[in-house]
Chains A and B, each alone.
Chain A
Amino acid sequence: MTETAPSARQPGVTRQRCARCVLSAPFPNIKFDVEGVCNFCRDEVGARSDDTAIDRGRARVMELFAARKARGATYDAVLCNSGGKDSSYTLKLAVEKYGLTVLSFTLDNGFVAPAARDNIHRIVDALGVDHITVRPALDVFKSVVRAASMLPIYGEQSLTRISAGCNACISLVNTTALRLALEKEIPFILAGFTLGQIPANGIVYRNHYRFLAESREASMSRLRDAVGLEVDRLYGVPDSVIDRAPTYPYNINLLCLESITETQILAEVGKLGWKRPSGLDGCSSNCMLNTFNNYVHERRHGYSPYELELSHLVRKDLMTRSEALEKLADQPLEQLPYLVKSLALSPEDLATLGLSADGQVAG
């Protein structure tokens, strides 16, 4: 059960990993049995309740779509389109399987791979979808990523499935999508998350912004202290926008309702012109910053932020264990110097992260 393949980020380091999935010993509350299989793999009750939650999610989505009004001049859904394979396939599902009129939206965080941008354009063109890009002030965004990477901005428990840098970015995507939906009176927000990235009870939910904002206040306050009041412009929705909107939209993750392998997804989006960008880490098909975020997460928490998602796919037979291990190991660390320079990390931050002054992995 000890994984002997060296970790890409910590050459020469071996670690205990579940013999069935890819969760490793530093993962919170993990226990291994005598066969080296983890408690998450052995949790049959959890797996059954996940299946029930998926069935309920599917029924709820069908009910919501069936009840939607003919929109006429506006959109049924705004889709958060990262340009990756999953959001591209979700867009295809929304348009072709569910017949929705979709507004595709990309948050350009300054690290979207050029090839991913080309993919976005090819896919929206092929599906005949309107598309907009929102680019936040990059100096503020980078300050947020720096703060999220170096300080305890987010609770430990919200970082079991996602790195702090990705969390900062996805929160911005979600808030921007919500603002668009409220402003344009769009009833659904779609995203390409898969099970493992989100839990089965998160497939469909009403986006009660004010309630959620209250629950985010502690992390927002830490972010404000670290970055400044500009974060409210990026991460807040003005009261006037909420008060004007007739109701809160639903967030729906359509991909969680499909049982589909990565190979099948790649074949489907490939038909629409999607091509895998080169030079990205094994767990991303759109964002260059992911390599840095993964590195930081592994450094701070001792495990990859993708272990939970990949383990889910392995358990569901949608990916082999060796494919998952390959993805975890595939990290283009040679890009770290460019990324840390772009983020303007201080010499102290670099030292804390075990990086040399020019951003190379030390030792």
Chain B
Amino acid sequence: MNANQVAERSRILEGLVTFVTRSFMVEASDIDMDKSLIDQGIIDSFGLMEITTFIENTFGAKIQEQDMTREAFGSMNKMATFVYRRKCGEI
């Protein structure tokens, strides 16, 4: 990734962190960015649906049924990368 791409991905991650902290009553420092939010007890399955709706609405990244995997949603970092790659047409 070049500097612009890194900045764009960070912007996405920041948006996700703001949404998660506000919606699920946690501090950013409580979140392990490389672990599943469900495994960390931050969200439940309903929370996962909220995040997908938020991603579609905020970043305009369409989420298909086959995208609903641990690979794409298994951590904050994975989600940010997924959204970034979907937005720039990499996937």
Q: Do A212 and B49 form a contact, CB below 8 Å, given A43-B22, A46-B22, A52-B57?
A: yes
Interface of A is mostly: helix
| A157 and B57 in contact, given A29-B25, A46-B22, A212-B49 (Cβ under 8 angstroms) | no
CB distance from B12 to the nearest CB of A (A): 16
Interchain CA distance A43-B49 in the complex, whole Å: 23
> Main secondary structure on chain B at its contact with chain A?
helix
Given contacts A157-B24, A157-B26, contact A215 B45 (CB under 8 A): yes
Which of B45, B47, B51 counts the most chain A CB atoms within 10 A?
B45
Partner among B39, B46, B48, B65 whose Cβ is within 8 Å of the Cβ of A218: B39
Q: How large is the interface on B (under 10, 10 to 19, 20 to 34, 35 or more residues)?
A: 20 to 34
Expressed in whole angstroms, the minimum distance between the Cβ of B7 and any Cβ of chain A is 22
Tell me if A321 is interfacial: C-beta within 8 Å of chain B.
no
Contact with B along A293-305 (1 / 0, CB 8 A): 0000000000000
Q: Which of A56, A158, A202, A218 contacts B49 (CB 8 A)?
A: A202
| Interface check B4, CB cutoff 8 A | no
Task: Check if A216 sits within 8 Å of B26, measured CB to CB.
Answer: no
**Known contacts A157-B24, A199-B50, A205-B53; is-contact A211 B41 (Cβ 8 Å):** no
Partner of B38 from the list A160, A201, A206, A218 (CB cut-off 8 Å) is A218
For chain A, give the interface size range.
20 to 34
B6 at the interface (CB under 8 A from A): no
B49 touches A157 (CB 8 A): no
Contacts A29-B27, A214-B70, A218-B38 given; indicate if A158 touches B53 (C-beta within 8 A). no
Least distance between B48 CB and chain A CB atoms (Å): 5
Given A28-B25, A157-B44, A216-B44, also A205-B49 (CB < 8 A)? yes
